[in-house]
A = this chain, B = another copy of it.
Amino acid sequence: MKIELSYTEENYLKAIFSLSVKKESAVSTNEIAQKLETKASSVTDMIKKLNDKKLVDYKKYQGVSLTDFGRSTAVYIVRNHRLWEVFLVEKLNFSWDEVHDIAEQLEHVKSEKLTERLEAFLDHPTHDPHGDPIPDENGNINHESSEPLFNIEKGSTCVLVGVRDSSSLFLQFLDNSNIKLGSEIKVIHKEVFDNSMTVVVDTLTRSLSSQITKNLFVKEVN
């Protein structure tokens, strides 16, 4: 099942996909507008078009959800994005805070063969540099259980397995704090007042705001 999609259509699908992951219900016009930094009226126009192309299900005023077709198209783009991020970090020695914007461009290059060759060249990576799983050629995503550091109880120890914010500023902050994927984090205090957390990483004690702990995804260890 092939179809010619514009760069823009692909970005809408990707946005709807990522907004759908967290929620079960339909995605709202405004959510999409915010994510894509555009206006709600533009979103309405586009989702009508995507609806005509059977990529989304849309009822006026009822929000939008991906069809199976739309979902698999979105996943294919996500696959490209994450493979290119791995390439940039592993082969071209970019740091993890530099690759997202370039991958936003590369993900739209259309060639099935390119994707498969790239994946093989990279030795079939399972995760991108930010800990996000890379969908396989059939669109299956290996969802592993992880939760925001925000949820971890005082006294527990966990391992950082993903970051849910690819902005340079956030990632550079983590670099400067010596926090990386695989780091062991022990929660030693939770401040009720502002929900900040005191943790120990690499023998160093740090205080992390809730904005940060909500974007760090961890697995508990015993």
Residues of A within 8 A of B (CB): 88, 91-94, 98, 101-102, 105-106, 108-111, 113-114, 117-118, 121
Contacts and interface: CB of A to CB of B under 8 A. Distances in A.
A212 to B, nearest CB: 27
Contacts of A113: 94, 98
B110 A105 contact: yes
Contacts of A91: 121
B102 A121 contact: no
B93 A117 contact: yes
A94 B118 CA distance: 11
21 contacts: A88-B114, A91-B121, A92-B114, A92-B117, A92-B118, A92-B121, A93-B117, A94-B113, A94-B117, A98-B113, A101-B111, A102-B109, A102-B111, A102-B114, A105-B108, A105-B109, A105-B110, A105-B111, A106-B106, A106-B109, A109-B109
Contacts of A111: 101-102, 105
Contacts of A118: 92
Contacts of A88: 114
A117 B94 CA distance: 9
Contacts of A108: 105
Nearest to A110: B105
Nearest to A111: B102
A88 to B, nearest CB: 8
A145 B2 CA distance: 45
A180 B106 CA distance: 31
A117 to B, nearest CB: 4
Contacts of A93: 117
A188 B92 CA distance: 48
Nearest to A116: B92
Contacts of A110: 105
A109 B106 CA distance: 7
Nearest to A120: B92
Contacts of A101: 111
A121 to B, nearest CB: 6
Nearest to A102: B111
A122 to B, nearest CB: 10
